[in-house]
A = this chain, B = another copy of it.
Amino acid sequence: MDPLSEPEISDCRVRLIQAAAEVFVEQGYRASVERVAARAGVARQTLYNHFPCKADLFGEVVRQATAALLITLHANQLTLRERLLRFGAMYREKVLSAEGLGFFRTLAAETVRFPELAASFYRTGPAQTAARLSAVLGEAMKRGEMRCDSPEFAANMLLSMLVGADRSHYLFSGDPPPAPDPEHVAQIIDCYLRAFAPIAIEAPASSSLTPASQRSIP
């Protein structure tokens, strides 16, 4: 109740959530309550003083992790390419980190047991990121910096290109997560911007309206 006890909203509680996050990310929800308590350096009963049951602790972990995984899109006056480069680097870093991959594994596995939790994670996490990105891309389209198309589709493509196949790779292959690689991000972003380059106005109109494949080579 003291203003001093306010900041440390139960030291135990935060240690427990932290420990639970680590353990669940490493071993999945199957990890025993015992291990969580041990990792937090606390008795099992103490855990139950703070959380009514294991599932509730898990829910709290997921809620906090969801917030931590959100990405901020700098709204400042960088070029579109610069903004996407920064976004892409952060996004890859979070998603392809050991914690990001572990969290993905753990939550995906529990979709059956906790469908509502998973859906809520999706709405306030990935869907949120996609929505923000859509907005930015929609603006770029209006400014003529990108070809006019569905902003949602464009966001979907960018997010997919940034981590799609790589996530599967690091999820299954057992290879250690990759070090951040700005060059690779740039390669992806430039590839992306090519796909969504504004239609060249100086070119003959016909060539820009036919599918790319039909333009290729006589």
Question: Which A residues have a C-beta under 8 Å from some C-beta of B?
Answer: 26-28, 30, 79-81, 104-109, 111-112, 115-116, 118-119, 121-123, 126-127, 130, 143-146, 153, 156-157, 159-169, 171-174, 187-188, 190-198, 200, 211-217
Chain A to chain B contacts (Cβ below 8 Å), 8 pairs: A108-B109, A111-B174, A116-B174, A118-B172, A126-B165, A144-B217, A191-B196, A198-B217
User: Given contacts A164-B164, A165-B159, A191-B195, is CB(A213)–CB(B173) below 8 Å?
Assistant: no
State A8–B193 Cα separation when bound (angstroms): 55
Contacts A107-B172, A108-B104, A126-B168 given; indicate if A216 touches B198 (C-beta within 8 A): yes
Q: Are A187 and B156 within 8 A (Cβ)? A: no
- Distance A79 CA – B127 CA, assembled complex (angstroms): 36
**Once bound together, how far apart are the Cα atoms of A156 and B188, in whole Å?**
10
Copies of this chain in its oligomeric complex:
2
Q: How far is the CB of A31 from chain B (nearest CB, A)?
A: 10
Our pick among B126, B173, B213 for the contact of A119 (Cβ within 8 Å) is B173
Contact B81 A213 (CB under 8 A): yes
CB distance from A29 to the nearest CB of B (A): 9
A54 shortest CB reach to chain B, Å: 15
Chain B residue, CB-CB nearest to A159: B165
* C-alpha spacing A187/B195, complex, angstroms: 12
Q: Are A193 and B212 in contact (CB under 8 A)?
A: yes
Q: Please state if A160 and B164 are interface contacts (CB–CB under 8 Å).
A: yes
Taking a contact as CB atoms under 8 Å apart, the answer to whether A216 and B145 are in contact is: yes
Q: How far is the CA of A198 from the CA of B212 in the complex (A)?
A: 9
Chain B residues, Cβ within 8 Å of A198: 216-217
Considering the complex, give the chain B residue whose CB is closest to the CB of A110: B109
Q: Which partner residue on chain B sits nearest A106 by CB separation?
A: B109
A212 to B191, CA, bound (A): 8
* New A-B pairs, 11, CB < 8 Å, besides A126-B172, A145-B213, A193-B216: A28-B109, A106-B109, A111-B171, A116-B174, A123-B173, A127-B173, A156-B165, A192-B195, A194-B197, A195-B195, A197-B215
